[in-house]
Amino acid sequence: MKVIYHPDYQKVYASDPAAEAGRMEAISKELEGHYDFLEPEPASEDDLRRVHTQSHIDSIKRNPLLYQAACLSAGGAILAAKLAMGKEPSFGLIRPPGHHVSADHCWGFCFFNNIAVALAKLKEAKEISRAFILDFDLHFGDGTSNIFEDSQIVYFQPGVEERQGFLKEIEARLETEKEYHILAVSAGFDRHEEDWGRALKTDDYRFIGKLVKDASQNICQGRRFALLEGGYNHRVLGKNVKAFLVGLE
């Protein structure tokens, strides 16, 4: 298990809760010493163009600090996916998050769609054709869902909000999936009982991680990676990410 991280992810590039000071440090200090950290390169504009329109890219570019941060985040996703293809599970401890970004617009603290940029790059290189994305963030990843509509890259988020039902829905869906080249996870932790969603327990993240690991071993030779999306209570965020990685590794 490798953790993708860059010291520049600590930079505050906006005034939203995902960009808040101390958020990344709250997670990195829980993971340091347990996992190897790898530093990514920023995504190139060509990487972004596979999923975003030029006008969207240009709109982010008008704020150079934000553009730099968003490219480095997408670059972290690309590295995480690349490692996963080599059968090294990985977690992108990246920000800004990405699942609310469609081809030509964004909202919800997201600027480029990290998971889409990473999978589109693998697809163009013909390393994959089919991928499965599990999103367990509190919020629906409308951007990812829009980008991969009518594609062999399938986006899934459980519809049940109640804790047991939510977990059961993930379990049931992963058991029925058979033909994918890689499993990707939009890992948001804002559904935790001490975060905005007030639902999941810390150990539930370990359980979900294990479900993804087992499914990837059954379906796609263990190829799996996850990327940070939401999660805003700095007091519990690090231990929730750690629990998920314990299950996923």
Binding site for Zn ion (CB under 5 A): 137-139, 188, 190, 230
* Nearest-approach distance from CB 196 to Zn ion, in angstroms: 7
Cβ-in-10-Å burial (0-12, 13-18, 19+) of 96 comes to buried
Which residue number places its CB atom closest to Zn ion? 230
139 vs 192, which CB is nearer to Zn ion? 139
Cα 94–chain centre separation: 8
- Angstrom distance (rounded) from CA 210 to CA 39: 25
Q: Which residues are catalytic?
A: 100
CA angle 37, 111, 38 (to 5 degrees): 10
* Nearest-approach distance from CB 208 to Zn ion, in angstroms: 15
96 vs 188, which CB is nearer to Zn ion? 188
* Nearest-approach distance from CB 220 to Zn ion, in angstroms: 26
131-135 and 224-228: which strand pairing?
unpaired
47 vs 137, which CB is nearer to Zn ion? 137
CB 193 within 8 A of CB 138: no
